[in-house]
Amino acid sequence: MKQLITLTLFLLTFTAFAQKPCEYSVNVNDSIGSYKVTNEYLISEKNFGGSSSYVFFSLAQTDGLPTLNLQLIQKSKDFIKANCFDKNSRVFLQLQNGKVVSLMHINQENCGTLIHDNGFDNRVNTGIFMFMKDNYEELKKSPVTMMRIKYLTDTEDYIVKSEITSEMNKKVYNPDTYFIQNIRCVE
């Protein structure tokens, strides 16, 4: 009887801590190479007055090289300034263990796209960031507490929460452990 209870407890504990399988929005292998991208994941959501701002992450792997795709979506009835990515743009992630991980933008300038819709201006900007070899492993070990995005002419800071219930789709997200849960999907 003791063994049955122990086995049951072990199996329940094992399934509670098991990692969920990787889900990809793109997964292509052909004669040219391989490319896969994880589903987009909400990292930050700000709604204030008539303005909304969303930051989404997805991880990509192109022929074995992992990258971070960052998508910033802004919506407002007021003017939305363009925050451009360039070769000097960076994403800095401060981890709970005190370390800071830096990601470099690829050498491609991008200021996003402005879309007018029912009296609202919407700006969508996407950047691709490369991991640095020396601190890549740290993302697997410690949750993220802060994120700083350095644009061409501006810098913006975000507090990375342990849990967000999105006002947009009512889903629950855990952005602080995004890398711990997902970086294995592009290794």
If pLDDT is split at 50, 70 and 90, which confidence band does 8 have? very low
**What is the greatest pairwise CA distance in the chain?**
69
Say if residues 175 and 111 touch (Cβ distance below 8 Å): no
> CA-CA distance, 185 to 67, in Å (whole number)?
11
pLDDT tens digits for 125-145? 999 999 987 778 899 999 999
If pLDDT is split at 50, 70 and 90, which confidence band does 2 have? low
- Could you tell me the two tokens for 44? 């930050």
Q: How far is CA 148 from the centre of its chain?
A: 13
pLDDT tens digits for 63-77? 888 999 999 999 998
Q: How far is CA 37 from the centre of its chain?
A: 12
Say if residues 134 and 185 touch (Cβ distance below 8 Å): no
Mean pLDDT of the chain: 87
